Amino acid sequence: MPLDSTAAWPLSSTRKIEDFPIANIPLAEHQQRIIGKAEVTVHPHAWIDTADLADFLMTGKTTLVDAAGAPLLWSGLEPDADSTHPARTSFIIRYPWDFLRANELYISALSSAAIHGMVHPSAVVEGLLHLGAGTRILPGVFIEGNVVIGENCKIGPNCYIRGNTSIGDGCHIGQSVEIKNCLILSNTNVGHLSYIGDSVLGEGVNLGAGTTTSNLRHDGKNHRSMVGGSLVDTGRRKFGSVIGDHVHTGINTSIYPGRKLGPRTSTRPAEVVQHDLQSQISNL
């Protein structure tokens, strides 16, 4: 089945969609955990919900489809358009904001905490925290809601992390930073005085002090984002930025909602990003 990953730019520029980590677990591994021993073929870009799979296996149909009619998984050699069952929650990851949706679904469904790092006594955790080995939660940190943080990270001091947020390995979230409902990949630094909301940050990103992502339109309508020369409705009332791997922002950078920064792009101090920034290095 042909797969078009260009609509997921810039996140698909440096890795396959099936390799993209959601809550620090590659999409393909999420699929394997859900499918288990079920004898089905899964679309490589599908986010599969456990309940949808269970319902599908009870129906006797051969193909599970998403709301757009795209095959998510099927029994047999190929999907059968004459024997479909609609999914309620599962979907194909087509666009960058779909990664954020999958991250939200996974983290919001966590049922227990798993803390293997160090949490300072003055830090406050209200929700379920998954914390990797070697990670330190420093004084004054407030974590609200379910949050996943990888290994060997430095979180704080005095930062606020909320929503269904995941943070990769080797990250630094620092002084007076607020992170809300984000998916952040490994080795990324949001060091101080920044607000990042409803956004996806790639690997090896470094945000200068005071970098701010806007995530709400003044009219309260859904955000739209440019894909292939056309504006696409994200279906999201709150949506920040999509920042590719190894992006650096100058201090006090402000980014309009729904804007995307290609891998290895950068901004100047006090720059206002009103349009997508294309990658400065090709053949990544």
Active site residues: 192
Bridge partners of 190, per DSSP, are 173, 207
For 13, phi and psi rounded to 5 degrees?
-75, -30
Tell me the residue type at 99.
F
DSSP annotation of 127? S
Helix (H) or strand (E) holding 28: helix 27-35
Residue from 221, 167, 224, 170 nearest 196 by CA: 167
Bridge partners of 148, per DSSP, are 130, 166
Bridge partners of 41, per DSSP, are 74
CB 155 within 8 A of CB 141: yes
